[in-house]
Structure 1
Amino acid sequence: MSDVSLGLVGVGKIVRDQHLPALAATPGYRLLASADPHASLPEVPAYADMASMLDAHPELDAVAICTPTHLRHAQARLALQRGKQVLLEKPPGATLSEVEDLIDVASEQGVTLFAAWHSRFAPGVARAREWLAERRIERVEIVWKEDVRVWHPGQAWIWQPGGMGVFDPGINALSIATAILPQAFFLRQARLLVPSNCQTPIAAELSFADPDGATIEADFDFRQSGPPTWDIHVETDAGRLSLTQGGCRLSLDGQLSLEAEEREYAGLYARFAELVASGRREVDVAPLRHVADAFLYGQRDVTDAFIE
């Protein structure tokens, strides 16, 4: 097929840091326009809202929606109803009900809807999934810690309902775990640490188990200073797997198996192009469901107020 003509909805930090470089490095895309009431991109036609962008550019094939989570459902629904292919930045919605509705609308319209779990495109994830497929999982340790002031500077929405707090990065870990582990797993216990002046957690401790009794422990924290820790360690009946640096580094039984540069968003856009070309949809809600379970089932403890 010809190049996918794309509009970007929301042009904040994640778009500038990741989407734009990935689009520049991925053949098959033409960036035609952007929609954001507060920001624009050099030499790209800009509109205050997505409806205006779609009205001005009926030739658009697709939109990538990168706005704060609570805005995505209405925007994605409108784009789908206009017959546009839609890429949703993670998480794909503020609630599971919103995402299920978008799946229905995309099916009715016969267009592509892609829940873009970018961390699944980290270099070591596919090989980790293959290695674990024939092994029995015994224990999993997930440590996902970073400094919110570095990764979300001035983004007050992340502390409001729908903003997810520490689950904004933590869901990346869950997207990897649900991709590489051979069985589903289920929340058994959760502790959420919520700053006294916020609505969402700054840290979370989660305990899961799979049907065979393997334990999965996750430790998420937004208060880490210095370099982030994005690690998953899996003990199996036939050795240990470590997927570290967000999935860029894979070790098997202590031996380095793979180390590569992070190119998640290039892989993400390549996958979106494949889905658009074949007219398929790809919307996995498992990572979001785990977050919803944590909010539903978790114990909430108040901690120190967050001051940026």
Structure 2
Amino acid sequence: MSTTLHWGIIGPGRIAHKFADALAYCDHNQLVAVASRSQQNADAFASRWQLAHAYDDEAALLANPQVQAVYIATPHNYHYPAAMRALKAGKHVLIEKPACVNAAQFARLCELAEQHDCMLMEAVWSRFLPYVAQAKQWLADKRIGEVQSIQSSIGIAFEHGPEHRINNKALAGGAMLDLGVYALSLSQFMLGQSHTAIQALGKLSADGVDESVMATVQYSGGQLAQFATSIVSQQQNALHVYGSEGTITLEPRFWSGSQVSLQRGDDIQTLTLPWAHNGFEYQIEDMARCILVGKRQSDVVPHRDTLAVLTQMDEVRRQIGLYYGDEFEKV
């Protein structure tokens, strides 16, 4: 393939603009096309980022031979069908988190990626950030001894109305898929183990989405990860990794920050590690490198981790009674 990877975007919303900004920063990556359900929205996005191609139909984008990779930035319930069509068209796929509504859908995408020799990755940008990499290095160096537990909270009191996607069950809204995925994915990343048990409680809104969830996950090594997530309460938004000899803390906004602390007794070391650009550049560069050398999975966000986190979220949703309906849950 060419040393420049040519991208298309499906779903030109707010997060797609952040992705386009990061892509413009990255060498050997170029955004060439966008698709939206609205030609007006596609044209506006294309004008902002000086793109040659703007479509009101994703099929037209997928038929463009110049497009090699696709970033899917639609609401959650559209991730699976859009990714399925992109893989069948032979495009490499980066899907905004959560990759799918459930684990069975992502397992099917993995099969399609293998069949069509395509790269497939969930866009968990937090895993690539410098301060998270520093925390992982401290863990590898046993700076806090043996990890015993992880505790995190991710809650934002959104003021959006009932029509907004985060409050809309028809768009797979709610706290778990939008926010809780960060707590579970980073806990999975820190521990690198499979889970063995989950206990969860949650509160559903009148419209049927999860407003607040608290859960504990036990992993194969015996460690526990406890998290709280909410779209109606403002929380501490920190993640603490507790070890036999100390604590590592990511805060504030542990999923999108730059500060990491290591505490051993009374000694506290705090590092601030800023992003090179807006934070999305690391996942873009990782995916481009993988494709260039023929890899079809990222070492940072491998398929097994995405499947594990989606399986955990499936169980949490089962326990709190949240099902999005056959239309959105089907494979």
TM-score bin, normalised by smaller chain: 0.7 to 0.9
Who is 2:272 aligned against? 259
- Residue 103 (str. 1) matches residue 110 (str. 2): yes
Who is 2:179 aligned against? 169
Q: 2:310 aligns with which of 249, 270, 288?
A: 288
Instruction: State the Cα deviation string for residues 150-202 of structure 1 (Å, max 9, x = none).
Output: 7x995336531562411111101211111112533444311111111x22201
- Residue 298 (str. 1) matches residue 305 (str. 2): no
Who is 1:52 aligned against? 60
Who is 1:306 aligned against? none
Q: 1:214 aligns with which of 214, 218, 223?
A: 223
Q: Distance in 2 between matches of 1:120 and 1:142?
A: 15
Who is 1:122 aligned against? 129
Q: CA deviation at 1:60?
A: 1.2
Q: Distance in 1 between matches of 2:36 and 2:236?
A: 32
Query: Greater shift after overlay, 99-108 or 215-224?
Result: 215-224
1:63-82 matches, within 5 Å, as 63-82=70-89
Q: CA deviation at 1:63?
A: 0.9
Q: Distance in 2 between matches of 1:159 and 1:186?
A: 31
Q: Distance in 2 between matches of 1:141 and 1:183?
A: 16
Instruction: State the Cα deviation string for residues 133-158 of structure 1 (Å, max 9, x = none).
Output: 343222321111113337x9953365
Sort the Cα spacing of 1:180 and 1:23 in 2 relative to 1 into closer, same or farther, 3 A: same
- Residue 233 (str. 1) matches residue 240 (str. 2): yes
> How many equivalent pairs are there?
294
Q: Distance in 2 between matches of 1:103 and 1:128?
A: 29
1:139-150 matches, within 5 Å, as 139-149=149-159
Q: Distance in 2 between matches of 1:138 and 1:157?
A: 33
Sort the Cα spacing of 1:77 and 1:139 in 2 relative to 1 into closer, same or farther, 3 A: closer
Amino acid paired to 2:287: F
Unpaired segments ≥5 residues, structure 1: 301-308
Who is 1:94 aligned against? 101
Sort the Cα spacing of 1:153 and 1:159 in 2 relative to 1 into closer, same or farther, 3 A: closer
Sort the Cα spacing of 1:92 and 1:158 in 2 relative to 1 into closer, same or farther, 3 A: farther
Q: Distance in 1 between matches of 2:112 and 2:320?
A: 32
SS in 1 for 2:30: strand
Who is 1:184 aligned against? 194
Q: Distance in 1 between matches of 2:27 and 2:80?
A: 28
SS in 2 for 1:70: helix
Identity level (%): 24
Who is 1:11 aligned against? 12
Sort the Cα spacing of 1:153 and 1:28 in 2 relative to 1 into closer, same or farther, 3 A: farther
Sort the Cα spacing of 1:243 and 1:186 in 2 relative to 1 into closer, same or farther, 3 A: farther
Q: Distance in 2 between matches of 1:156 and 1:212?
A: 37
CA contact (8 A) 1:92 1:99 kept: yes
Q: Distance in 1 between matches of 2:118 and 2:36?
A: 24
Amino acid paired to 1:261: P
CA contact (8 A) 1:194 1:200 kept: yes
Amino acid paired to 2:78: L
TM-score by length of 1: 0.87
- Residue 35 (str. 1) matches residue 35 (str. 2): yes
Unpaired segments ≥5 residues, structure 2: 298-302, 323-331
TM-score by length of 2: 0.82
Q: Distance in 2 between matches of 1:187 and 1:296?
A: 13
Q: CA deviation at 1:15?
A: 1.0
Q: Distance in 2 between matches of 1:98 and 1:162?
A: 16
Please give the root-mean-square deviation of Cα atoms over the aligned residues, in Å. Answer: 2.3
CA contact (8 A) 1:7 1:60 kept: yes
Q: CA deviation at 1:211?
A: 3.7
Q: Distance in 2 between matches of 1:230 and 1:97?
A: 30
Who is 1:23 aligned against? 23
Query: Greater shift after overlay, 99-108 or 116-125?
Result: 116-125
- Residue 278 (str. 1) matches residue 297 (str. 2): no
